[in-house]
Amino acid sequence: MKAYWFNNEAGDQRLPHDSGRAVTPDYLAKLGVLYYNFNKEQDVDKLATERSYKNRDVITVSPEKLGDIYEEKVKSFFHEHLHEDEEIRYIRDGSGFFDVRSEGDEWVRIFLEKDDLIILPAGIYHRFTTDDKNYIVAMRLFKEEPKWTPLNRGPEVDINPFRKDYLQSRTA
């Protein structure tokens, strides 16, 4: 894992866009973003039990796996959105970037690779992209039946109750 302030310079979303200014796990925690590194699947099982994650699946995002729709998918994952549930991803292979909004509405970019696990809280605005290797395998965990509905940023979503709760819980 490596977290840093995103530089907003032009260029492919899959490039690092690293400003050179690091962001600490403590700061991520203030945004409500939790990070773990687990090299044993048992550790994930324990976390899943503790946090009542009852379901899981594994998704591969790559041109080999997705074929013609790969580029389209990568673009859609990169639209800024939130969910009414946590987004939990345990990276099993490859790598990619999760971008989350700071309290000052800047992007923090989080580079994740194998064995990294991230929990984004419900209500945080975020987006995802593969990196220039175009390959990631991630386990997706969820509490109940998976609901992947992304709510794209806009005036209506800004006043969503999950968004309001998130803003109240954030300590940054």
Binding site for ligand KMT (CB under 6 A): 59, 61, 77, 87, 89, 96, 128, 136, 138
Question: Does 85 interact with Ni ion (rule: CB under 5 A)?
Answer: no
Q: How far apart are CA 34 and CA 12, in angstroms?
A: 27
Minimum CB–partner distance for residue 144 and ligand KMT (Å): 17
Beta-carbon-side half-sphere exposure of residue 18 (alpha carbons within 13 Å): 11
Instruction: Determine the interface stretch with Ni ion among 3-11, 17-25, 47-55, 83-91 (rule: CB under 5 A).
Output: 83-91
Question: Does 116 interact with Ni ion (rule: CB under 5 A)?
Answer: no
Tokens 């907003």 belong to residue: 8
- Of the candidate residues 85, 86, 87, 99, the single one contacting Ni ion (CB under 5 A): 87
Minimum CB–partner distance for residue 6 and ligand KMT (Å): 16
Nearer to ligand KMT, 21 or 55 (CB): 55
Question: Does 86 interact with Ni ion (rule: CB under 5 A)?
Answer: no
Chain residue whose CB lies nearest ligand KMT: 128
Minimum CB–partner distance for residue 130 and ligand KMT (Å): 8
